[in-house]
Each structure stands twice: as C-alpha cells, then as structure tokens.
Structure 1
Amino acid sequence: MWSGVEWGWTYLTTPLGILFFGQFLCCIMDFLQTSEGQLFVGVAVGLVAVGAAAYFLFSSKKTKVCLDPENFKEFKLVKKTQLSHNVAKFRFELPTPTSVLGLPIGQHISCRGKDSQGEEVIKPYTPTTLDSDVGHFELVIKMYPQGRMSHHFREMRVGDYLSVKGPKGRFKYQPGQVRAFGMLAGGSGITPMFQVARAILENPNDKTKVHLIYANVTFEDILLKVISNLSSSTHSFERCTCANFTVNGK
C-alpha cells in the first residue's frame, strides 16, 4: 500500500496535478502582490528573524560543562589569595562566563603538575566552589614543604594553566539522601566536607543536618572558617553543628 506522500507525488506528476499546482502557484503570486500579501510576508520575515535571534541568544547563554573524565583540560589561574603561611586559594577561569565545571556534589578532580625535579605528578583535589558558581572554580590548597604537587601550586602565578580531569569518585550526593551527615575531618581534608556541607546549607529545601568535627594542629591551620558563617545563617542555624579543635590547644 502506498503512503500518503507517495500518492501525493504521483498525483502531482500527472497532467491534471501539474495544472492544479500551476494554478495554485499563480494564486499565491497574485496574493503576494497585494498589500495584504506584502504584510503577510513582512510578518513572516519578522517572525523568522525573532526566532533566529532567540535561538542564538539561548545557545550563547546555555550552560557549558567543562570537565572531561578521560582527558586533561587546561584552566587559567586568574587569582591567587594567600590565606595563611602555607595555604592559598586559587581561582581558575572557565571558558565562558556562563560555563560550569560540571562536578557532582561529593566528587573530586585530578590535577596534573610537575614536582621540584620536573617529574609529572597527579593528585586529587576537591573544589570549594559548586556549579552554582558560574565562570570559575576555586581550590584551597595546603602546601607542604616536601609535597610534590604542593611544589607545583607554590610556583603557580596568575596567568599559568592547570591541567584538570574529572569528575572522579563514586559518591554523589542528592538532596534529602539521608537525614543527617556526621563528618570527621583534619587539616586540608576539610575540602570534601565543605563541598557537601555548602551544597546542603545553601539549599533551603534540603533539610539534611550536618555535624562536623574538624581537627588541626594550631588555630592558624583551620581552613575554610566560612563554614561557621554558613552555619550561623538564618536558614542553616538549626541544621549545622561545627566543632573545631587543635592538637596543641593553641
């Protein structure tokens, strides 16, 4: 059995069909020469132009995910802030102002650099920013004297590039996944906890409670004191308990 398209094409190739189609085209041409026809053409062209502009605008503002799980990508360092004698915050620029890193909550990235001997080293890090922070991502790095990747970050200057690959890890947090999180962290190990805690506390619809115990050698070693600010905000106060303590009591 022939389809409707096949039947229509067969009809148009007959003498009667050709005559009918010719008369139809003549009617259209006559109509387009009238004022109503010209108005119709103008409206049609305007609608096409508006549609094309809207499509271009939507496409240009569409959020772009930057991470590649298989290949390292380069990101430019645009700001380096020293937080203490051995801790610094690094801000890296994403390709566009609307780009996001594309890192699920609870996962991390692999960073590649060179140690003091010029040998390649790869180490995992957890950004302190979320995908709600568009156009950039940040890493808070504690640089150890003998750390191989620490050397790479210590030598980085604004304008340098960092090789990053990800996401990495098996854990992915979903709002309301559990009733409460109990977190234990020490030193620079706070960054994975901070990522999850921030995602929870900045989401007013997520009722998950956060209980964090954070240990350091000295008070100066306490990273990301902003957690205390998060927990003291109006909508987070009842959902976050933070306890910081130091080993030597100073």
Structure 2
Amino acid sequence: MEDIVAKLQPHAMEIGAALALILLAIFFLGRTKADEPVLHPTDFRQFKLVKKTQLTHNTARYRFGLPKETDSLGLPIGQHISIQANIDGKNIMRSYTPTTLDNDKGYFEVVAKTYPQGNISKYLAGLKVGESVQVRGPKGKFVYSKDLSPHLLMIAGGTGLTPMFQIIKSSLGDPSDKTEMVLVYANVEENDILLRDELDSLVAASNGRLKVYHVLNKAPDVWEGGEGFITKEIIENHMYDGGVASGSKVLLCGPPPMMTAMKGHLKDIGYPAPRAISKLEDQVFLF
C-alpha cells in the first residue's frame, strides 16, 4: 500500500499544480474582461446610436449606448474621443468632446454641428438609431482637476462649448471643488446657443461659482448680452481680480478664425501665447 501511495504522490502533485494553474488562468481572464475599459486608445470600437435630439437647425445631440447599463465611458474630464467613418472609400476621423460624465451610466452623448463640407458631421447627421459608429480614446493634453486653478475663464464659440460644458458639470458636481468659472460664449444668433437651458440650470445651482455671458453676432432687438464679436474689452470685463497675475487659466475652443482673434486679444492683455499644441501647465490652453 505504501508503494502505491508513493507512486501516485508525484502524479497527484502534478494534477494539483495543473488545476491551480487552470483556476489562476480563469481568475485572471475573468478579471481582465470585467475590468477592461470601454474605450481603447488605439483600437476603434463600435457603439450604437440609441437616440438623436435636434437642438438647432444644424446641430444635434447624439446618444450612444455602452455595452452594459452600468458601464461608464471612462473618459477623463477635458479629454476627447475620435469618431471614424469610411466615407467614399477613405477612413475619415474627427475629434469630439462628450457632454456626459462618467456618472452617466450606460451611454455617452456628443453634440455636433453639421457643416456643408463636414464629412463626419454629415455622416453623424445621416446616422439612424440602431446604426453604429467607430470610436477610440481618450485623447488630449488637458485633464481637469479641482486644484488646477482657482479661476477659469472659458471662451468658446459654437460647438466649442462642449469641453467647457463637460468641465463645468464636473466641477459643480463636486462639493469639494471651489473653482470659480466664467464662460464667455459666442454664437451667430440666439437660436444657435447650445444647451442653453442646461447652462442656465448650472448657473442657478452654482452658488455664484459660475457666470455665463453670451455674445451674439446678430443680436435681437431686446438682448442683455454682448453684440458683435468677443472683444478685448469683453474679455477684460470678465477676468478675475488681478488679471494675468491672478493665476487664472484661460481655456479656448471654437472656430479657427475666432481663436486667432482671441489669442490676439489675450496677447494684448498680457497673457502668454498658447503653444501650437497646448499643455496642461499652460496659462492659456487651446483645445
């Protein structure tokens, strides 16, 4: 009997070791799958359109579903995603900042304006509920945190609102965040103002931490905001006490001609010029 046990013992040890390896492999494979991020930085993944809401005559909000209702996109605040589509045999890609946060479970939303020559924007406009887009990310040099700056002056035009909106929502949703924010937001007409009701609600709930000033190129007869274009004087009127020396960061996002004008105004005020590719530590950050 002792001889039999002695002969079986090495085999039992081998079988036990093999079972241990199998169980370990199952554990790690299961954990990797469960912990796998929804987004991938280099591989495009498919997300289905589940809802489309027209905001203006040429701008819509697109809601895309995530694999599970408990999933979040996993996008750092201030980062953006790339949307790709095959158009006329070519893979075309554009960047968008979702207006949702990670506490919005099961979906993410993108607000996009349809341009006559915009390949991806026209592709999104023609997308039907149930159809999918290819997305990868995160991308970008900007990551918001509550200690980034005591004050943020945001200057946006049109859909350039989206990164500002994401930052504002995140900041106001954190009771420990004390950052003061001013958004100067330019559009052509009053009907072009995006997410206006949401912005008004955020201002009302901010306890004075958020102020929004609208500027319209074509203002109605009765209008309390700015008229024409954003000027150096408008920027100076909405800067924090101490101006450049206060340490306030300036965030810019909008059409290239507008951004060129804003950089000129900020230079005249005394702000350093943004780099060709902005970095988080820059006092003026251009998305």
Q: TM (normalized to structure 1)?
A: 0.72
Is the Cα–Cα contact under 8 Å of residues 63 and 99 in structure 1 kept in the other structure? no
Is the Cα–Cα contact under 8 Å of residues 64 and 99 in structure 1 kept in the other structure? no
CA distance in 2, matches of 1:150, 1:120: 14
Secondary structure of 1:152's match? helix
Task: Report what 1:53 is aligned to.
Answer: none
Indicate whether 1:69 and 2:71 are aligned.
Answer: no
- Percent identity between matched residues is 45
Task: Report what 2:176 is aligned to.
Answer: 205
Task: Return the letter of the residue paired with 2:219.
Answer: G
Task: Report what 2:207 is aligned to.
Answer: 237
Task: Report what 2:236 is aligned to.
Answer: none
Is the Cα–Cα contact under 8 Å of residues 78 and 92 in structure 1 kept in the other structure? yes
Secondary structure of 1:157's match? coil
Residue deviations 1:132-162 (CA, integer Å, cap 9, x gap): 1111000011111221111111110000001
1:112 to 59, 64, 84: 84
CA distance in 2, matches of 1:83, 1:114: 26
Q: CA RMSD for the aligned pairs?
A: 2.0
When residues 155 and 77 of structure 1 are mapped into structure 2, their CA distance, relative to the original with a 3 A threshold, is same
Secondary structure of 1:78's match? strand
CA distance in 2, matches of 1:221, 1:118: 33
Equivalent runs, 1:211-230 vs 2, <5 Å: 211-225=182-196, 226-230=198-202
CA distance in 1, matches of 2:36, 2:183: 33
Task: Return the letter of the residue paired with 1:249.
Answer: A
Q: What's the offset of the Cα at 1:170?
A: 1.1
Q: What's the offset of the Cα at 1:63?
A: 7.3
Residue deviations 1:110-148 (CA, integer Å, cap 9, x gap): 000244x45321000000000011110000111112211
2:100 to 103, 106, 129: 129
Equivalent runs, 1:71-110 vs 2, <5 Å: 71-110=43-82
CA distance in 1, matches of 2:97, 2:219: 28
Task: Report what 1:148 is aligned to.
Answer: 119
Task: Report what 1:47 is aligned to.
Answer: none
Task: Return the letter of the residue paired with 2:94.
Answer: K
CA distance in 2, matches of 1:64, 1:137: 17
Residue deviations 1:197-242 (CA, integer Å, cap 9, x gap): 1100111110101110000001111111111211111xx1310010
Indicate whether 1:158 and 2:129 are aligned.
Answer: yes
Task: Return the letter of the residue paired with 1:198.
Answer: K
Task: Return the letter of the residue paired with 2:218.
Answer: N
Task: Return the letter of the residue paired with 1:89.
Answer: R
Is the Cα–Cα contact under 8 Å of residues 201 and 231 in structure 1 kept in the other structure? no
Secondary structure of 2:174's match? coil
Secondary structure of 2:208's match? helix
When residues 221 and 63 of structure 1 are mapped into structure 2, their CA distance, relative to the original with a 3 A threshold, is farther
Indicate whether 1:247 and 2:203 are aligned.
Answer: no
Task: Report what 1:138 is aligned to.
Answer: 109
Is the Cα–Cα contact under 8 Å of residues 68 and 167 in structure 1 kept in the other structure? yes
What are structure 1's unaligned runs of at least 5 residues?
A: 1-12, 14-58
Is the Cα–Cα contact under 8 Å of residues 65 and 99 in structure 1 kept in the other structure? no
Task: Report what 2:161 is aligned to.
Answer: 190
| Count of aligned pairs between the two proteins | 190
CA distance in 2, matches of 1:81, 1:118: 29
Task: Return the letter of the residue paired with 2:95.
Answer: P
CA distance in 2, matches of 1:142, 1:70: 25
Is the Cα–Cα contact under 8 Å of residues 66 and 100 in structure 1 kept in the other structure? yes
Task: Return the letter of the residue paired with 2:199.
Answer: I
Indicate whether 1:178 and 2:149 are aligned.
Answer: yes
Task: Return the letter of the residue paired with 2:58.
Answer: N
